[in-house]
A and B are shown apart, each in its own frame.
Chain A
């Protein structure tokens, strides 16, 4: 079956099976490898995409269910040839170790800060509690998000 949606600002039509997850469509059919597969049960956050602006586990969305939706993956954050300022903050604060959780952390943090621009450090920690970092680099991730939220220039 054909499913139509908007991916990172561009209209897409993809031939899918109903029994595929959207994560499988992104990685296996479209080569969008910035979306990672972790647990396949919605717990780890590695496969996070923005689904009409809200974080969703792409492993828990059936392919046909994205019809008409606006999807953002981390590559949709880029500003021209450069990185998004939150990505710059992650680089500056050493918030990336293996990088597997990073796309989900970035998307979850941005969706949260859009609704809560004046968030405290404690609120940022709560907002990210559904995204697991197995390198356990949480402190620097929260540092980076907090610096970005504060509006520190040059990525904090």
Chain B
């Protein structure tokens, strides 16, 4: 690891002042599960590491139709929180799929979003559910929709002097949810991850649908065309299969060292089909 200065500010004000001073030469340390590997491999060489773990952003709150996650909420907290389980259980399912148990012990919501791996679970959930991120700098505050926050592979709209403090995720009410993913080894980032959140009306037809896929492009994507092909219809096997085909057609995955474009497209179709099946079954249980 290259040497760096280390700061652990006690207040947000002090943290933002440090980021304003050092900008590109500073890195924010939260859970460290993405940053420290980059430091160990000398892929990141900050002059200053700003450890924000002493800041008061580790709470989960439910208010006004949202689950509000402090940036320092750890993944294991999402797995174990009764509020998350009852108001936005898809976050619990997503958290349980992150990395391994050690990543989930220390890794944070804000860190996962700021790292912006295109196959990571939390960015996918945030894009599919239209979460909003509260971002601060010494210049002020702004609120970003998840879909505008993720700008490319490992890239976000965060300026060098900004830090995420809070993420507001809409509660999903009576909707059924499922997150399916395929990875070559347990704990790896998924090759492809697929998310479905589906609610049914009194006649058993699909009232609302949120569909998203990760690992098929530089950022996770929500799939409005596939949602439109589902809403208003009975969630029959034939319908779900057709929606999965719409998902596969809407994607333009790239080949890399791990999978061909055709294989990623195939995985997306299979995984969204499985996610739809489970999400609909859950919605029926609630109804």
Contact = CB atoms under 8 A, between A and B. Distances in A.
B279 to A, nearest CB: 22
Contacts of B102: 42, 45, 48, 55-57, 60, 130
Given A40-B41, A64-B6, 12 more contacts: A18-B5, A18-B49, A19-B6, A21-B40, A42-B99, A48-B102, A60-B33, A62-B32, A65-B53, A67-B8, A129-B100, A130-B101
Contacts, number: 90
A1 interface: yes
B29 interface: yes
A111 to B, nearest CB: 8
B33 A62 contact: no
Chain A contact patch, size range: 20 to 34
B18 to A, nearest CB: 14
A65 B29 CA distance: 10
A62 B2 CA distance: 13
Nearest to B5: A18
A18 B36 contact: no
A21 B37 contact: no
Interface in A40-68: 40-43, 45, 48, 51, 54-57, 59-62, 64-65, 67
Contacts of B186: 129-130
Nearest to B2: A19
Contacts of A48: 102
A113 interface: no
Interface of B: 1-6, 8, 29, 32-33, 36-37, 39-41, 49, 51, 53, 76, 99-103, 105-106, 186-187
Nearest to B7: A18
Contact of B40 (A59, A111, A127, A130): A59
B106 A18 contact: no
Nearest to A52: B105
A55 B5 contact: no
The 8 closest A-B pairs by CB, nearest first: A130-B100, A18-B6, A54-B105, A129-B186, A41-B37, A60-B36, A19-B1, A57-B102
B105 A21 contact: no
Nearest to B74: A54
A5 interface: no
A131 to B, nearest CB: 8
